[in-house]
Amino acid sequence: MHCIKCGCEESKVVDSRAIEDGNAIRRRRECINCKNRFTTYEKIEYVPVVVIKKNGLREQFDREKVLNGIIKACEKRPVSMDDIQKAVNDIEMEVNNSMNKEIEAQKIGDMVIEKIKKLDEIAYVRFASVYRQFKDINEFKSELNKLLNAK
C-alpha cells in the first residue's frame, strides 16, 4: 500500500476494526517514511454467480429477488424478519460457496422452498403453488398430503 503523501510502500497498521457486520476491515496505517496516517479498507471480493433461467437466459444472482420471494410467501404469517434474513443469508452463502459460477434457477428455487418449509407451512404451500405451478386443485391437494404425511 503506497502512502498517499510520499509514495513509500512501507507502512504499519495503527488500528484495525471490523465494519459492515464483519464483512470488511478498516485499517488506520502510518507511513514508515513520513509518518502520514491514512485509512485503507479490506473487503471480500465475490465472484458473481450467474443464474441460468428456465428459458436459457442468464442473469447475475440477485439476493433481493430471493428475499422478496420469501417475504411475499410469509406475508401475514408469524415469521420474523430475522428468520427470513437468516434463510436468505444461508441461501446466498450456499450459492456463493458452490464451486460453480453458474447455477440453475431451479436449484435456487429448491433451496428457497426447503428454507420456507422450515419457517412456516402456510408460507411453504403459498410458495410451492407458484414455484411448482400447480395446474389444478388436485396438485395442490397432493402437496398438502405430502406435507401432512411428513409429520
46-63 per-position pLDDT tens digit: 778 999 999 999 999 999
* Percent of the chain surpassing pLDDT 70: 99
Q: 71 and 145: one domain? A: yes
**Pairing mode, strands 37-43 and 50-52:** unpaired
Residue 148 pLDDT more than 80? no
> Are 129 and 96 in the same domain?
yes
Domain co-membership, 57 together with 18: no
pLDDT of 85 strictly over 70: yes
Residue 2 lies in a domain: no
- CB neighbour list of residue 69: distance below 8 Å, 6 or more residues apart: 112, 127
Longest dimension (CA), the chain: 77
Q: Which domain holds residue 37?
A: 11-43
The CA-based angle 22-16-21, given to 5 degrees, is 15
Q: How many CB atoms lie within 10 A of CB 144?
A: 13
**DSSP 8-class letter at 4:** T
Return the higher-pLDDT residue of 125 and 80: 80
Model confidence, pTM? 0.65
**Unique residue bearing C-alpha cell 400447480:** 134
3-state SS class at 92: helix
Hey, which bits of 20-135 come out as E strands? 24-31, 37-43, 50-52, 58-60, 102-104
Calculate Rg over the CA atoms of the chain: 23
Higher pLDDT, 38 or 130: 38
87 vs 130 pLDDT, higher one: 87
